């Protein structure tokens, strides 16, 4: 049984890979970031140098990793992938950097979680394509400068605010990824349905798009759940009715909020009278990590106009009360 579910899991991971857009022109949405990147890449290509380091920031599932892969593909370069939490020791980063070939793209996901010594090593690497490797300990320790190949760093972060100033300053370009419009997500869903050979009608894909929290990863995931439902409980075609019935089974509500989103709003409204309340208190109330609440739930709740971040804490808006079927108190935010 366990093997089976592991297999099924691998299957879904593979699907994520299949669905990744491969070229800048195939990338749906993010028109600003795309145009800006196009210029950065084209001018570097004309000058025959690796492009400036790129920071991509925005909530999970908006396409930062896909964009990093596209950057490497557009440059015809190899992509090396690592993540902030994996770079606990500076030595790990030194090994990675010294193995780069000229022009390679190094992708560091969750770069705001990189450990301090590795971060400091990165400064010099980004600026001078050099690392200082410290050999030995104590007063006898010496640092040996090591040349590395000119490369392009692509960093991704869900919290650009958590980056230190010196690190942020070393990126030549920051692309701020925004939530997708319903229309863009509709294109994402239709493209994925085509690739996965799922029969979906226009009202069906629009319904999935509308309930995907502005996020392509969620749109693709909901599409797969809808396909399951359509195959098992209907005639295989994802109509609007089938989508609605499927999403009800998977606890995705009219606005696309999932169980955790609703738990956060529910706690905010019912346990804390609508706030203001600190994010860690709120996280404890729903049994989640504060970073999950802050980086996964809140950005969309803010964009949906349900939650406001104020200096004194999180506050529910009137829309949040109403969404939960409750009467907002008089003094609540409009």
Catalytic residue among 104, 109, 186, 261: 109
314 is in an annotated binding site: yes
Residues in binding contact with ligand ADP, number by CB under 6 A: 19
- Any bridge partners for residue 310, and if so which? 313
Which two three-digit tokens encode residue 233? Answer: 């409980």
Using rule CB under 6 A, residue 61 touches ligand ADP = yes
Instruction: State the nearest-atom distance from the C-beta of 177 to ligand ADP, in Å.
Output: 7
Judge whether 20 is annotated as a binding position: yes
Three-state SS string over 205-224 comes to: HHHHHHCCCCCHHHHHHHHH
| 158 catalytic per annotation | yes
Return the residue nearest ligand ADP (CB atom).
Answer: 63
Among 12, 14, 16, 127, binds ligand ADP (CB under 6 A): 16
Strand 130-135 relative to strand 313-316, pairing? unpaired
Q: How far is the CB of 295 from ligand ADP (least distance, A)?
A: 11
Q: Does 66 bind ligand ADP (CB under 6 A)?
A: yes
Rg (the chain; Cα; Å)? 23
Q: What is the C-alpha to C-alpha distance for residues 23 and 314, in angstroms, rounded to an integer?
A: 39
Stretch that binds ligand ADP, among 2-10, 59-67, 70-78, 161-169 (CB under 6 A): 59-67
CA distance 7 to 21: 24
CA angle 92, 96, 100 (to 5 degrees): 165
239 touches 233 (CB < 8 A): no
x/- site string to ligand ADP, residues 123 to 162, per CB under 6 A? Answer: ---------------------------------x------
**Catalytic residue from among 168, 211, 213, 217:** 217
Cis peptide before 276 (omega within 30 of 0): yes
Q: What gap in Å lies between CA 87 and CA 294, rounded to an integer?
A: 23
Is residue 109 flagged as an active site residue?
A: yes
Instruction: Name which of 216 and 275 has its Cβ closer to ligand ADP.
Output: 216
- Do 247 and 226 contact (CB within 8 A), yes or no? yes
Helix residue spans in the chain (DSSP H): 2-19, 31-47, 64-75, 90-98, 116-128, 165-169, 182-196, 202-210, 216-233, 240-249, 259-266, 279-286, 290-292, 298-303, 318-323
Report in angstroms how near the CB of residue 192 gets to ligand ADP at its nearest.
7
Site residues for ligand ADP, window 171-230 (CB under 6 A)? 188, 216-217, 220
CB of 27 to ligand ADP, least distance (A): 5
CB 132 within 8 A of CB 146: yes
Please identify which of the residues 152, 157, 158, 317 carries the catalytic annotation. Answer: 158
**Count of C-beta atoms within a 10 Å radius of residue 82:** 17
- How far is CA 30 from its chain centroid? 13
Is residue 65 a known part of a binding site? yes
Under the binding rule (CB under 6 A), the answer on residue 21 touching ligand ADP is yes
Smallest gap from Cβ 202 to ligand ADP, in A, equals: 18
From 63, 103, 274, 328, residue interacting with ligand ADP (rule: CB under 6 A)? 63
Q: How far is the CB of 18 from ligand ADP (least distance, A)?
A: 8
Using the structure block, give the residue that is written with the tokens 């396909």.
Answer: 227
Known active-site residue 65: yes
60 binds ligand ADP (CB under 6 A): yes
91 token code pair? 């030595």
Binding residues for Mg(2+): 65
Binding positions are 19-20, 61, 64-66, 127-129, 170, 180, 217, 309, 314
The residues of the shown chain that bind ligand ADP, judged by CB under 6 A, are: 16, 19-21, 27-29, 60-66, 156, 188, 216-217, 220
Residues involved in catalysis: 64-65, 109, 158, 217
Binding site feature residues for DNA: 309, 314
């Amino acid at each position: 049984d366990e093997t089976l579910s592991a297999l099924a899991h691998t299957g879904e991971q593979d699907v994520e890979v299949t669905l990744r857009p491969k070229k800048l022109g195939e990338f749906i949405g993010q028109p600003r970031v795309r145009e800006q990147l196009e210029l950065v890449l084209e001018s570097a290509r004309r000058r025959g140098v690796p492009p400036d380091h790129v920071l991509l920031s925005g909530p999970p599932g908006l396409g930062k990793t896909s964009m990093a892969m596209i950057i490497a593909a557009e440059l015809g370069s190899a992509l090396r992938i690592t993540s902030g939490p994996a770079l606990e020791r500076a030595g790990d980063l030194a090994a990675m950097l010294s193995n780069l070939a000229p022009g390679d793209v190094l992708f560091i996901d969750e770069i705001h979680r990189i450990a301090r010594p590795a971060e400091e090593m990165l400064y010099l690497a980004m600026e001078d394509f050099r690392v200082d490797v410290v050999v030995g300990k104590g007063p006898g320790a010496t640092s040996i400068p090591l040349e590395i190949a000119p490369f392009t760093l692509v960093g991704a972060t869900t919290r650009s605010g958590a980056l230190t100033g010196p690190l942020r300053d070393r990126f030549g370009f920051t692309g701020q990824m925004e939530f997708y419009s319903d229309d863009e997500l509709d294109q994402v869903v239709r493209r994925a349905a085509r690739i996965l050979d799922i029969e979906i009608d226009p009202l069906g894909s629009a319904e999935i798009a509308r309930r995907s929290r502005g996020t392509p990863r969620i749109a693709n995931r909901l599409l797969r759940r809808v396909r399951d439902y359509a195959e098992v409980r209907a005639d295989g075609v994802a109509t609007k009715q089938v989508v609605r019935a499927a999403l009800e089974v998977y606890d995705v509500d009219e606005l696309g909020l999932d169980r955790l989103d609703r738990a956060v709003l529910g706690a905010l409204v019912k346990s804390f009278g609508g706030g203001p309340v600190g994010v860690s208190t709120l996280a404890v109330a729903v049994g989640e990590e504060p970073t999950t609440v802050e980086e996964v739930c809140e950005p969309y709740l803010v964009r949906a106009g349900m939650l406001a971040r104020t200096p004194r804490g999180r506050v529910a808006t009137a829309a949040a009360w109403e969404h939960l079927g409750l009467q907002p108190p008089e003094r609540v935010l409009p």
